[in-house]
Amino acid sequence: MTAIKSGSNLERVLTAGHFAFTGECGPPKGANADHLREKFKYLKGNVDCVNMTDNQTAVVRMSSLAGCALMKAEGLEPNFQMVCRDRNRLAMMSDILGAYALGVRNMLCLSGDHQSFGNHPEAKNVHDIDSMQLIALVKKMRDEEKFLNGEEIDVAPKMFIGAACNPFADPFEFRVHRLATKIEAGADFIQTQCIFNMDKFRDFMKQVVDKGLHERCYILAGVTPMKNAGMANFMSKYVPGMDISESLIKRLKGVDKRDQAEEGIKIALEQIEAFKEMQGVAGVHLMAIEWEHKVPEIAERAGVLPRP
Amino acid sequence: MIVADRKSLEEILGMVADREKLLILGCKGCVTVCNVGGLKEAEVLASTLRIAQKKEGRPVEVSHRVLERQCDNEYVAGLADDVGNYDAVVSMACGVGPQFLSEMYPDQVFFPAVNTTFFGGAVQHGVWEERCAGCGACAIHLFGGLCPIARCAKSLLHGPCGGSANGICEVNKETACIWDAIVKKKMETGRLEDLVAVKPFKDWRTARDGGPRRSIREELVKGTL
């Protein structure tokens, strides 16, 4: 994992052996670029790169590619998220080229939440290729400098390739194998689903380390600070693939409503401390959902500043 | 087989609102097997339409009959001497039937009484499930005999996705996660390694994406079989 593949800041941080700290930013439900620029202020300098989500939860938003371009213009490093739900292979390859031309150097390859969860459930989905193949596609374009059909690319996109992993989905025993396939396909780094069940994640990481996967790919643990007990309840019930324990909800409910946000941040900070020590974990991916203004405080209190 | 669901009475009534003499035309093929468009269902629909229109104060004349198959011109031709006797014909066959009828009898109007849903079979009495997406390049042997193209909501070739929980698909609590079943089968048979390699990109030209499809059997065309 030493030869430089993309030259992205995230790649530089990880290859130098630093504990990575990445952030996330959801584009607005509109063309409000100022709204995004406002969020960028809280992220700039506090994280190594920022994921720009792609119609997350299948709700229509400003395109992730445009969000990445706006981010670049403000001097932050984007991580361009791409889902297989909304694009066929033609649109994917052309957006990858466009992203690279705009200076994007990181990508996160995802299947995408099913459209039935979003605000246009009547939509047709694409799924021409799946997330595993999207990883392989970005790698082919980077390493072989070829399109999927074998044609040469005139200036190939050199992306640092990311993939997601949800250790909490079923069947649990298969999750490490699926991660191995993503690495085989070409993933350079992994950002996991939000982790709330630390015991299960420890189990998972043990399997990862036993298989030596952490030596072939950088694994960033996903952290989402809870704003209050209501958010934990909602995510537990309505967000697919979440493993939120009763004890976590109880801990949040156990404090006064006014103090629940602080309790949520405390939990996140405890998690980050645990991840710093956990074998095989190369960093943290902080998903402060519609809470970007808390990122500077969390980064400061987590002791990850200044960023390398 | 092809599975279909009857349209609502309201929708059918809306289609035939200005017609006074109707033929309800069943089919003895798949729609008979899935109890939606055979002789019995044609009879029930005819009677229901008569009652409904009578209630509205505009009685209509509704006949019913059934063809051996509406997807076969040999049998569709059997309607020639009768088809002109109606203001409209309501076909209870899958979407193929009313098209074969429309092509053979361009002067008549054919309404579809059913929604064609999928290729599948009955898993219990009265319950049918999808099994095939008709992609034109069957590879179920790679997945323990289970098709992820038809049965995974995202048609993943490398599942299960992060939304699989307790063997259930995130999209619908009534739907089993087919990838959970594929993985478990591979684990039980000690063939997990079948799932860890990245599969080739699917060529969708054989599916509907390649345009309307044709199947030609030369030996039959030439009459040598």
Domain annotation covers residue A73: yes
pLDDT value for A1: 55
pLDDT in tens, A209-245: 999 999 999 999 999 999 999 999 999 988 877 899 8
Mean of pLDDT values over A26-38: 97
The answer to whether B157 contacts chain A (CB < 8 Å) is yes
Token digits for B34? 């899935």
CATH 3.40.50.2300 residue ranges for chain B: 2-117
- What confidence tens digit (pLDDT) does each residue in A46-62 have? 999 999 999 999 999 99
> CB contact, 8 Å: B137 with chain A?
no
Nearest C-alpha of chain A: how many angstroms from B126? 26
- Residues B37-76 have pLDDT tens digits of 999 999 999 999 999 999 989 889 999 999 999 999 999 9
In a domain? residue A4: no
Beta-carbon contacts of residue A305 (< 8 Å; ≥ 6 apart) = A46, A299
For residues A170 and A222, give the distance between their C-alpha atoms in angstroms, rounded to a whole number: 18
pLDDT digits (tens, 9 = 90+) for B168-220: 999 999 999 999 999 999 999 999 989 989 999 999 999 999 999 999 999 99
Does A90 contact chain B (CB < 8 Å)? no
CB B147 within 8 A of CB B140: yes
Does residue A12 have a pLDDT over 90? Answer: yes
Using 50, 70 and 90 to split pLDDT, how confident is the model at A271?
Answer: very high
Q: Nearest to residue A282, comparing CAs of A185, A198, A215?
A: A215
pLDDT digits (tens, 9 = 90+) for B141-155: 999 999 999 999 999
**Cα separation, A289 vs A56, whole angstroms:** 11
Residue B225, pLDDT above cutoff 90: no
A63 within some domain: yes
Distinct helix (H) and strand (E) counts, chain A: 11, 8
DSSP state of B189: T
- pLDDT above 90: percentage of residues in chain A: 95
Reading the block at residue B162, the tokens are 């992060």
* C-alpha dihedral sign at B176, B178, B182, B183: negative
Name which of B90, B65, B83 is nearest B7 in CA terms. Answer: B90
Is the CB of B163 inside 8 Å of chain A's CB atoms?
yes
Stretch (H or E) spanning B41: helix B39-55
Contact B198 A181 (CB under 8 A): yes
Per-residue pLDDT averaged across A33-55, rounded?
Answer: 97
CA distance A237 to chain B (A): 12
pLDDT confidence of residue B223: 87
C-alpha distances out from residue A39 to A35, A50, A122, A300, B122, Å: 7, 11, 31, 17, 53
Q: What is the CATH number of the domain that holds A245?
A: 3.20.20.220
Give whole-number Cα distances, A223 to A59, A179, A202, B77, in Å: 22, 19, 14, 67
Residue-wise pLDDT tens digits, B10-21: 999 999 999 999
Report A:234-253 residues touching B (Cβ under 8 A): 240-241
- pLDDT over threshold 60, residue A185: yes
CA distances (Å), origin A287, targets A51, A222, A294, A298, B32:
9, 7, 11, 11, 54
What's the whole-number mean pLDDT along residues A93-106? 98
- Does residue A307 lie in a domain region? no
Q: Which residue has the tokens 């009857």?
A: B6
The reply to whether A149 touches chain B by the CB within 8 Å rule is: no
Residue spans of alpha helices (H) in chain A: 9-15, 33-43, 64-73, 89-101, 131-139, 172-185, 198-210, 229-238, 246-253, 260-277, 295-302
Parent domain of A61: 9-302
- Contact of B95 with B116, CB cutoff 8 Å: yes
Chain B residues touching A164 at Cβ < 8 A: 162
pLDDT of A221 reads 98
User: B124-133: per-residue pLDDT in tens?
Assistant: 999 999 999 9
8-state DSSP, A26: P
Measure the CA–CA gap between A228 and A211, rounded to whole angstroms: 37
- Interface contact A174-B160, CB threshold 8 A: yes
pLDDT band at B224 (very low <50, low <70, confident <90, very high): confident
- Secondary structure (3-state) at A166: coil
The CA-based angle A62-A66-A69, given to 5 degrees, is: 145
Q: Name the residue with tokens 């396909």.
A: A185
Q: Is it the case that residue A268 has pLDDT exceeding 60?
A: yes
**For residues A182 and A216, is the Cβ–Cβ distance under 8 A?**
no
In a domain, A183, yes or no: yes
Whether residue A136 lies inside any domain: the answer is yes
Domains identified in chain A, total number: 1
The confidence score (pLDDT) of residue B163 equals 87
Cα–Cα distance for residue pair B148/B161, rounded to 1 Å: 12
CB of B223 within 8 Å of a chain A CB? The answer is: no
Assess whether pLDDT exceeds 90 at residue A3. Answer: no
- Looking at residue B133, its pLDDT comes to 97
A210 to A24, A183, A201, B186: CA distances (angstroms): 30, 15, 14, 22
Q: Cα torsion for A220, A222, A223, A224, to the nearest 10°?
A: 150
User: Would A275 be classed as within a structural domain?
Assistant: yes
φ, ψ dihedrals at A285, nearest 5°? -105, 110
Q: For A171, which of B162, B184, B199 is closest by C-beta distance?
A: B184
Placement of tokens 């009652």 in the chain: B51
The domain B2-117: what is its CATH number? 3.40.50.2300
Pairing assessment for the beta strands A50-52 and A20-25 based on DSSP bridges: parallel
B200 prior amide bond cis, ω within 30: no
Best to test chain B binding among A92, A93, A114 (most B CBs inside 10 Å): A114
Q: What is the DSSP pairing of strand B114-124 with strand B127-132?
A: antiparallel
Minimal Cα distance from B163: which residue of A?
A: A241
Contacts by B106-111, CB closer than 8 A, 24 or more apart:
B108/B83, B108/B84, B111/B12, B111/B15, B111/B16
